């Protein structure tokens, strides 16, 4: 199969929401949140995140169900979608980055998803899991989407997992403010800007997570 579209199931989402919350509660000693963006009922948003762990597949669902409340979809690698087919029931659709034609098909599907009111999209522009602390290097898909879509807010989210204070890990999530872009910017310029914005958030997370709780709110 070259492409797996999303096939949202409201009943499955309802049950999986509860399961996901208690999964995070059980596996992490605490989950913290720093929030600088909140969509309203008319917002359409692309959220992009760093990709360093298995948990990244569930974090977008958790955030949307308990914080954003939008009609969310997420991009997921074709192999992971084939292995965990239930993700299509919560809004994930596949992308095959080894096939340029199929990559474009997935990106066009993402654009079409924004025809729905209050739509959002979660994307990991690194394209694969990378070691924590490594430099960000984005593929061009996020920049391409930003050029195709108008009136879309683009929001970085930093993910940081650590064991500074406990043998059981803590999860810190930092939702940055929406990013203003210029239509004159090239894909390369946009990609660099998106990388820099998220890297700034990750740098702040590395400096504060586990040391200064005052700027975070307890999420779970």
- The domain limits of the chain are 10-218
Q: What share of the chain is helix, strand, coil (3-state, %, to 5)?
A: 40, 20, 40
Compute the C-alpha angle 54/146/32, nearest 5°.
Answer: 40
User: Are 76 and 85 spatial neighbours (Cβ–Cβ below 8 Å)?
Assistant: no
- pLDDT above 70: residue 157: yes
Largest CA distance in the chain: 48
Supply the pLDDT for residue 133: 76
Supply the pLDDT for residue 135: 84
- pLDDT above 90: residue 134: no
The answer for 133, left when phi > 0, alpha when psi is -120 to 50, beta otherwise, is left
Supply the pLDDT for residue 5: 95
DSSP label of 150: S
- pLDDT above 80: residue 139: yes
pLDDT over 90, % of the chain: 84
**How far is residue 51's CA from residue 38's CA, in Å, rounded to a whole number?**
22
- pLDDT above 70: residue 1: no
pLDDT tens, residue by residue, 7-52? 999 999 999 999 999 999 999 999 999 999 999 999 999 999 999 8
In the chain, alpha helices (H): 10-27, 59-63, 78-83, 100-113, 141-148, 187-208
**How far is residue 169's CA from residue 142's CA, in Å, rounded to a whole number?**
30
Tell the residue number behind the tokens 């066009």, with chain if given: 108
Supply the pLDDT for residue 39: 97
Local confidence band at 2 (pLDDT 50, 70, 90 cut-offs)? confident
The answer for 22, left when phi > 0, alpha when psi is -120 to 50, beta otherwise, is alpha
pLDDT over 70, % of the chain: 100
**How far is residue 193's CA from residue 179's CA, in Å, rounded to a whole number?**
9
- Of 146, 168, 171, 160, which is closest to residue 207 (Cα–Cα)? 160
pTM for this model (two decimals): 0.95
Rounded to an integer, the average pLDDT of 173-191 is 91
**How far is residue 51's CA from residue 66's CA, in Å, rounded to a whole number?**
21
For 10-218, which CATH class? alpha beta
């Amino acid at each position: 199969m070259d492409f797996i579209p999303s096939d949202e199931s409201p009943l499955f989402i309802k049950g999986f929401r509860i399961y996901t919350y208690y999964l995070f509660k059980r596996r992490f000693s605490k989950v913290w949140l720093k929030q600088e963006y909140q969509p309203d009922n008319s917002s359409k948003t692309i959220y992009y995140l760093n990709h360093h762990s298995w948990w990244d597949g569930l974090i977008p669902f958790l955030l949307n169900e308990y914080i954003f409340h939008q009609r969310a979809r997420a991009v997921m690698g074709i192999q992971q979608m084939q292995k965990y087919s239930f993700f299509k029931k919560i809004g994930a659709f596949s992308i095959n980055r080894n096939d340029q034609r199929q990559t474009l098909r997935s990106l066009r599907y993402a654009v079409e998803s924004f025809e729905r009111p209050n739509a959002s999209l979660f994307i990991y522009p690194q394209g694969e899991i990378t070691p924590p602390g490594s430099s960000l290097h984005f593929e061009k898909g996020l920049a391409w989407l930003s050029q195709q879509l108008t009136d879309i807010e683009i929001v970085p989210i930093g993910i940081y997992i650590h064991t500074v204070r406990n043998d059981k890990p803590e999860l810190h999530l930092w939702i940055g403010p929406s990013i203003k872009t210029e239509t004159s910017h090239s894909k390369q310029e946009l990609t660099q800007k998106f990388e820099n914005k998220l890297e700034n958030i990750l740098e702040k997370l590395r400096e504060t997570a586990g040391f200064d709780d005052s700027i975070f709110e307890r999420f779970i």
